[in-house]
Chain A
Amino acid sequence: MAPALLDVTDLACRRGGRQVFDRLSFVLGAGELLALTGRNGSGKTTLLRALALLVRPDAGTIRWHGAEIRAEPETWRGRLAWLGHLEGLKGDLSVRENLLVAERLRGAPPAEDRLDGALTAFDLAGLAARPVRILSAGQRRRVALARVVLSQAPLWLLDEPLNALDVPAQAAFRSALQNHLAAGGLAIAATHADLGLPAARALELGVAPSSTSPPGGGEGHETHEP
């Protein structure tokens, strides 16, 4: 295993009076992919949002290179690429404009030169001038994935990245993810479908039977896929 870049220890999150997960720990090194699995409502999205600091964890630490990320939240946010349930695209802007705006909102300089590469990777070159409002769900998902690739962030947080993607788009996503990992990037993806990457490690989140968690045991357990 590569030396740990991201070190999550004893993370706990309560939402609406329910313990979503408790004493969750995992480490992730450069070039590693973590697949979050589990039933609906098992806390996959909450864990991703907690890692992005969109949800405040109740306990536990999240360290990057050994330093607690909450000490410098803005630096941490700069290291993330986010793909949520919602694509975060403006329907009235074109595909190209959406990607450029998203890059500038990250405080990055204009990315025109890298933009074409990201568009081509997801077969969006022909759609670049179209307003996002007229795109299909799968096409929107591809635009959002192109945004993730364009960000060049070291850690990708992906919530159901394969949703609505057709077979060629899934292949494009896999190859983009593989390139990212090969370049030393990290990725955490919540997914029901098989990501199709042999190197993926899996973290299964369980649903607590009641609002109280069993004593002495974490709810998440880590498995290595063969």
Chain B
Amino acid sequence: MTGFIALVARDLRLVWRRPGDVAVVLAFFVVATVLFPLGIGPESNLLARIAAGVLWCAALFASLLSLDRLFAADYEDGTLDLLLLAPWPLELAALAKCLAHWIVTGLPLAVLAPFLGIAFGLDRPSLWALAATLFVGTPTLSLIGGLAAALTLGARRSGALLALLALPLCVPTLIFGAGAIETLAAGESFTTHLAILGALALVALATTPWAMAAALRQAGE
């Protein structure tokens, strides 16, 4: 457990030393979503209807944006070898890296999204629902993205390959995340959607660390 906490703390500290990396991701999220109201024009009904889908897609792209460095930085400076040689499971190390990634991207995205939702004319319950679905759904994005990052480690043009691998796997999360807001707009409860998002996150939590560890060992050979 010492190692797990140390790794999360190290990654957070590294981000703290270079806040620009995270700022770029969040700025991309803001700019990408704000372009839609500007491009479509002030049709508030249409905007409110597409808001959830747009914000969720933008969150997905934004979290992928920083993922190609998740393991690549450690691979290039040799610290990945130290993780491979740590006397505790590599699965936990992979999980720690994803947790740190979620804290610096998924969490801020979930906090930012409701403010951007205002630009789309979403009502107050929808804004809360948006934050809630992103809060529960973004860990899945970090985990699946982490798996794609581990698999593409050492590959050329890994960023594009990573997106190709991760995006299809993120489709269920996207559908239920955006669907939750639509359900709410139709006057129904979105707890089912939230539960399914939670279930997807748990499935990712239970499977991806092992796959990530196997991919990292392969990259270390």
Task: Give complex CA distance A44, B85 in Å.
Answer: 18
A54, A97, A105, A109: the one within 8 Å of B220 (CB): A54
Residues A82 and B2 in contact, CB atoms below 8 Å apart: no
**Does B83 count as interface, using CB distance less than 8 angstroms?**
yes
Are B10 and A107 in contact, with the CB atoms below 8 A? no
Which of B37-45, B73-81, B105-113 touches A? B73-81
From known contacts A89-B77, A89-B79, infer whether A52 and B85 are also in contact, taking CB-CB under 8 Å: yes
For A90, the chain B residues whose CB sits under 8 A away are: 10, 14, 77, 79
A85 near B78: Cβ-Cβ < 8 Å: yes
**Which of A72-80, A172-180, A187-195, A213-221 binds B?**
A72-80
Q: Are B10 and A82 in contact (CB under 8 A)?
A: no
Encode contact with B along A64-108: 1 for CB under 8 Å, 0 otherwise: 000000000011011010101111111111000100011011111
Candidates A78, A101, A109; contact of B87 at CB < 8 Å:
A78
The interface size of chain B toward A, counting residues with CB under 8 Å, comes to 25
- Other-chain contact of B89, A56, A74, A93 (Cβ < 8 Å): A74
- Please, how many angstroms separate the alpha-carbon atoms of A182 and B13 in the complex? 38
Interface residue tally of chain A, by bracket?
20 to 34
- Beta-carbon contact of A107 and B77 below 8 Å: no
For A105, give its contact among B13, B78, B86 (CB under 8 Å).
B86
A12 and B17 CA atoms in complex are apart in Å by 44
Compute how far the CA of A101 lies from the CA of B79 in the bound complex, rounded to whole angstroms: 11
B188 close to A (CB within 8 Å): no
Q: Does A129 contact B (CB under 8 A)?
A: no
Chain A residues with a Cβ under 8 A of chain B: 49, 52, 54-56, 74-75, 77-78, 80, 82, 84-93, 97, 101-102, 104-109
14 A-B pairs (CB sep. < 8 Å): A75-B87, A77-B86, A82-B82, A85-B78, A86-B76, A86-B78, A86-B81, A87-B77, A88-B81, A92-B14, A92-B17, A93-B10, A93-B14, A93-B17
